[in-house]
Structure 1
Amino acid sequence: MFSLLNLQSLFGLLVIIAACWGLSENRRAFPWKLAIGAVAVQAGLVLALFAIPGSQSVLAAVTSAVDGLSLASAKGAQFVFGYLAGGDQPYSVDNPSALFTFAFNVLPLILVISALSALLWHWKVLKWITHGFGLLFQRTMGLGGASALAVAANIFLGMIESPIVIRAYLARLTRSELFLLMVVGLATVAGSTMVAYATILHDVLPNAAGHVLVASIVSAPAGVLLARIIIPEKPGQGGAHAEDGSDLKYDSAVDAIVKGTADGLMVVLNISAILIVFVALVALANVMLGGLWLFGDHVTVERVLGWVFMPVAWLTGVEWAEAGKAGWLLGVKLTLTEFVAFIELGKIPVGDMSERTRMLMTYALCGFANIGSVGITVTGLSVLVPDRREEVLGMVWKALFAGFLATLMTAAVVGALPAAVFA
């Protein structure tokens, strides 16, 4: 049965689409068919993975796979770091929960998944899955072959690796197609970080691995739609064809593992550096704001973000009583990266947040749309297509806006579905 919260999410969905239409470069060219198709694809994928008979078995398999990867990564980390990574302790432990260390318990998982992703790409397993999703997006949303393939690759490879898949076609993409590639890159996450997020939420959200996987997949159509609304494709343009070949290649299985590990190491180093700097900056800002009081309490960055993004969180379908906490998480995602936001979401005790709000926030946070990713997007595309750097710079902030709203759109679509779907 539908409730007022479902209608609230539907209203939020309309507001999100209207906000992008307000920024459109051609408001008369609203893609009605694409809008219907994108929402239908999103809802269909969610229902297929949660509601159809046998889907729970698939979700259980995904959860088991994530647990297995976490266990295997822990073994490798314990071999290198010993008791610091949860190995045999040289002393008695009074508080086992204090043994969890982000650097030793989560970041090694990214290395393992990055290497495994490269290996599966070399063995053509991930390549065929990507081509399958690319064909789905091409048929249902009218994307060109190159754009469809890049959108599908974003789901598993990430915002920088996916353009490499179609590197030979980047120079020939239209402005609208290039913008679409940027938006979808910011609206989704890489497979390596996807598993890390599921691990963080494992103890506080049922089917956490399934929700994170679905979140990254269904945000891709949302990114496509919002990108097409803001910068519509001109008639007669677009549709660049992509051959079966790809610029992302490895010489052997060993080469894939080595290069995948090296790429994962760069991700780990970037995440570590960003977390240290941004968390320190927030702490510094809180010190500077320490003398200010409002409504009987200290003014902090967290409280300010909560106030600013409170109505935004409400639009996804969150109850107003929890919108402040949810809005704070959205603000953390935009300013401090989604990694910090997921860590904070995982810290909230089960009883302090409803399961619906936690689920919606999982979808709303699952994307690379944050201020730090703006620099990564510009740098990555400037290397791949240096002749279009000025064009990228002119669109990147619009891409951030659309990418951020794309994950909110996904949360709104999920929030509009009956609760029985996820039971």
Structure 2
Amino acid sequence: MFRPENAQSLAGLAFILVVCWAMSENRRTFPWKLAAGAIFVQIVLILLLFGLPGSQAVIQTINNGVDGLGAATAQGTRFVFGYMGGGDQPYQVTNSGALFTFAFQVLPLILVISALSALLWHWHVLKWVIRIFGILFQRTMGLGGASALAVAANIFLGMIESPIVIRAYLDRLTRSELFLMMVVGLATVAGSTMVAYATILKASLPNAAAHVLVASIISAPAGVLLARIVVPEKQGLGGAYADYTSLLKYDSAIDAISKGTMDGLSVVLNISAILIVFVALVAIGNGLLSVFPPVYGEPLTIERVLGVFFAPLAWAMGVHWDEALKAGYLLGVKLMLTEFIAFIQLGAVPAGEMSERTRMIMTYALCGFANVGSVGITVSGIGVLMPERRNEIIGMVWKALVAGFLATCMTAALVGAMPHELFGR
């Protein structure tokens, strides 16, 4: 059933497209066919998982898979860290809620998923999945082979790993294709972090694993569309061919597991350091703001400032105005800090303070790497692969950040525009 809040989300989707058109390097053109194709792909992918008969069984399988990975990881964590990692407690426990430790119960999942992804890549399983998505994007949105492959790779790999997949074709990418690759990398997340996000949200959002998976997949076509609006392709350019071979290779299954684990360790250390530093910086910022008098009876904090700034965008995505300040704050946290911190805070919101609809919309809005810290990662990572175009990358990276951020918001608005009953509520 179509409701007023669905129309609200549709208006928000249109608003996001207008904002990107206003940023365009050529406002005389608008990719109408691509817009129709991208939104069509998003809707089809949502319907495939949530709308088809038997889809609930698929969703339950995904959730069970995430729980299984979590249980398997927990055994390794308990073996290494003992009672601190969830093993038998040597003391009487009076507050079981305090036993949860983010470093031991969530971050180890990234190590396991990273190693598993590398192994599936070596066994060609992940390559074929990426190839299928690459062909889908190539046929429905008119992307060149190399761009389609990079977009598909971004769904499961990271924003730096995916350019490696098409490294042989990087020198042939046009300015528009290069920008597209950057935007999609910022609009999606790596497979190694999807399970961690689902684990964080599973206690507060039904079918969290399915929502996180779909969020990363359908934000890819949204990123393609917004990238093409901001930096349109010039007539007759683009379309570099890709034969689906890759420079990303492993010598053996053991080599894949070991290198995947080391890559995951790098991600874990990076996330841990960022969480420590940025949480501390927010605390410092709130301490500095405490010198100002209370506003409307409450202390002035970074959370409240971000909430006010992004509340209109949250409302445009379909969030009820009573929850827009809290949702706007989460958008600000995602942009200025990281999506990991935003997901942690979303999962910590008590059930009575946020509706299930808002939680679902925010899950899609937060599921992307578009944050200020990723700007440096993008410049350094892609710049190493394309040193001769480093200045061009630097010149486009901030626009790519805005487009990548808005791509996840566009995805959230599209989900908000669809009937509630589709998602089993």
Does TM, normalized by the shorter one, top 0.5? Answer: yes
Structure 1 residue 74: deviation in Å?
0.9
Alignment of 1:2-401 (within 5 A): 2-292=2-292, 293-401=294-402
Amino acid aligned to 1:229 = I
Amino acid aligned to 1:342 = F
CA contact (8 A) 1:134 1:148 kept: yes
Amino acid aligned to 1:184 = V
Structure 1 residue 36: deviation in Å?
0.7
Report the Cα distance in structure 1 between the residues aligned to 2:266 and 2:379, rounded to whole angstroms: 17
Amino acid aligned to 2:298 = D
Structure 1 residue 44: deviation in Å?
1.2
Structure 1 residue 291: deviation in Å?
2.2
Report the Cα distance in structure 2 between the residues aligned to 1:116 and 1:249, rounded to whole angstroms: 14
DSSP-derived class of the 1:297 partner = coil
Amino acid aligned to 1:207 = N
How many aligned positions are there?
Answer: 423
Amino acid aligned to 1:66 = V
Structure 1 residue 350: deviation in Å?
1.6
Structure 1 residue 420: deviation in Å?
1.0
Name the structure 1 match of 2:404.
403
Report the Cα distance in structure 2 between the residues aligned to 1:162 and 1:68, rounded to whole angstroms: 27
Gaps of 5+ in 2: none
CA contact (8 A) 2:149 2:244 kept: no
Report the Cα distance in structure 2 between the residues aligned to 1:47 and 1:350, rounded to whole angstroms: 27
Q: Which runs of 4+ in 1 moved over 3 A?
A: none
Report the Cα distance in structure 1 between the residues aligned to 2:193 and 2:8, rounded to whole angstroms: 30
Structure 1 residue 66: deviation in Å?
0.3
CA contact (8 A) 2:311 2:329 kept: yes
Amino acid aligned to 1:302 = E
Report the Cα distance in structure 2 between the residues aligned to 1:134 and 1:244, rounded to whole angstroms: 9
DSSP-derived class of the 1:236 partner = coil
Amino acid aligned to 1:158 = G
Report the Cα distance in structure 1 between the residues aligned to 2:210 and 2:17, rounded to whole angstroms: 26
Structure 1 residue 269: deviation in Å?
0.7
Report the Cα distance in structure 1 between the residues aligned to 2:135 and 2:45, rounded to whole angstroms: 15
Structure 1 residue 95: deviation in Å?
1.0
Amino acid aligned to 2:385 = L
Report sequence identity in percent.
72
Amino acid aligned to 1:134 = G
Amino acid aligned to 2:321 = W
Structure 1 residue 398: deviation in Å?
0.2
Report the Cα distance in structure 1 between the residues aligned to 2:272 and 2:213, rounded to whole angstroms: 23
Amino acid aligned to 1:375 = G
Q: Which moved more, 1:290-299 or 1:18-27?
A: 290-299
CA contact (8 A) 1:291 1:298 kept: no
DSSP-derived class of the 2:28 partner = helix
Amino acid aligned to 1:42 = Q
Structure 1 residues 259-316: Cα deviation after superposition (integer angstroms, max 9, x where no partner)? 0001001100110111111111110000111122111110000011100000010010
DSSP-derived class of the 2:369 partner = coil
DSSP-derived class of the 1:79 partner = helix
Q: CA RMSD in A?
A: 0.6
Report the Cα distance in structure 2 between the residues aligned to 1:383 and 1:163, rounded to whole angstroms: 11
Structure 1 residue 382: deviation in Å?
1.0
